Amino acid sequence: MSLAYTATDSAAPFQLRPVTPSVGAEVSGIDLTESLDEKAVAALRAALIEHGVLFFRDQPVTPDHQVAFARRFGHVPKVPDSMFLVHEANPHVSVLLNDADRPPTVNNWHSDYSFAPLPDFASVLRSVVVPDCGGDTVWAGMFAAWDGLPDRMQQHLDGLTATHDFMKLYERPVKKRLWEGERGRLMEAARREFPPVSHPVVRPHPESGRKALFVNESFTRHIDGMSEQESRHLLAFLFEHCKAPEFQVRFRWSPDCVAMWDNRSVIHYAVADFHPARRLMHRVTVLERLREG
């Protein structure tokens, strides 16, 4: 794309270093606590579309800084207090906290809100407290996963749709505590708000047009129009295919890192290897437009 910048562009408002050929790039020379000009925002957006996930180190942003940065790319909704803890100082920031009493329960490959009629565009995650060891996040590039399929499989998948279901993840036993007490009432409201929805198995990216797989093991329930057995086998193949190391980038967090990723072209996995250590993250969601309803 014409807006993309590289580390060799003398006019670039930042430096960009790809981490792997398939997905991920580190950004330096930019301060996310400052207001970015339109040129920088356009360049970051182009880099995000090209690389899927961007990493920023040494960014001591506040929740307000994080929200202001995210708003340069789209609509930032308030956090649904059913599924997530809400930051007390900013209702647009979700608090992801794990410690001895709150073991991690999202160690599944997923794309944020793929169960919604309008899935999330981007997620902006900041590390506040990280374990001395472990707690990495892994992303898989779904452009590369699509490109890595044989031609016959691509032809078979193109045009298919799949049902994504909020309950596929949240009905699991590890999520039991979310359904207890007052929070259970909020979760039931979320279940009603997000009934199962169908999305193309292969989605052209809305900005680049490049094709990406759009399935994930957390929320994709079945392939529409297939028998249960056929759907189960095909999804099992696709879920395993997307885990290939050639499609992945793994990020080791340190305090004050920010990762921004495009849910339309990557899936991610929070590695749950650090319990009972404390891990505290702040996340902000970006939508392409306001969700209906």
Question: What are the residue ranges spanned by the domains of the chain?
Answer: 15-286
Q: What is the pLDDT of residues 191-225, one digit of tens each?
A: 999 999 999 999 999 999 999 999 999 999 999 99
pLDDT at 233 over 70: yes
- Side chain identity, residue 111: S
CA distance 178 to 85: 11
Alpha carbon of 87 to those of 92, 220, 225, 236, 288: distances in Å? Answer: 8, 29, 42, 37, 23
Q: Residues 126, 268, 279, 282: which is the catalytic one?
A: 268
Answer whether CATH 3.40.640.10 is correct for domain 15-286: no
Q: What is the pLDDT of residues 75-103, one digit of tens each?
A: 999 998 777 899 999 999 999 999 999 99
Q: What is the pLDDT of residue 6?
A: 46
Q: What is the pLDDT of residue 290?
A: 61
CA distance 105 to 202: 28
Instruction: Note if 268 is an active site residue.
Output: yes
Q: What is the pLDDT of residue 141?
A: 98
Instruction: Note if 210 is an active site residue.
Output: no
- What average pLDDT does this structure show over 120-141? 97
Q: What is the pLDDT of residue 83?
A: 78
Q: Is 275 exposed, middle or buried (0-12, 13-18, 19+ CB in 10 A)?
A: middle
Instruction: Note if 110 is an active site residue.
Output: yes
Q: Residues 45, 87, 110, 264: which is the catalytic one?
A: 110
Half-sphere exposure of 128 (CA within 13 A, CB side): 17
Cα-only R_g, the chain: 19
Q: Residues 45, 51, 87, 112: which is the catalytic one?
A: 112
Contact 179, 60 (CB under 8 A): no
Give the range among 3-17, 227-241, 271-285 with minimum mean pLDDT.
Answer: 3-17
Q: What is the pLDDT of residue 291?
A: 58
In the chain, the percentage of residues whose pLDDT exceeds 90 is 83
Half-sphere exposure of 206 (CA within 13 A, CB side): 13
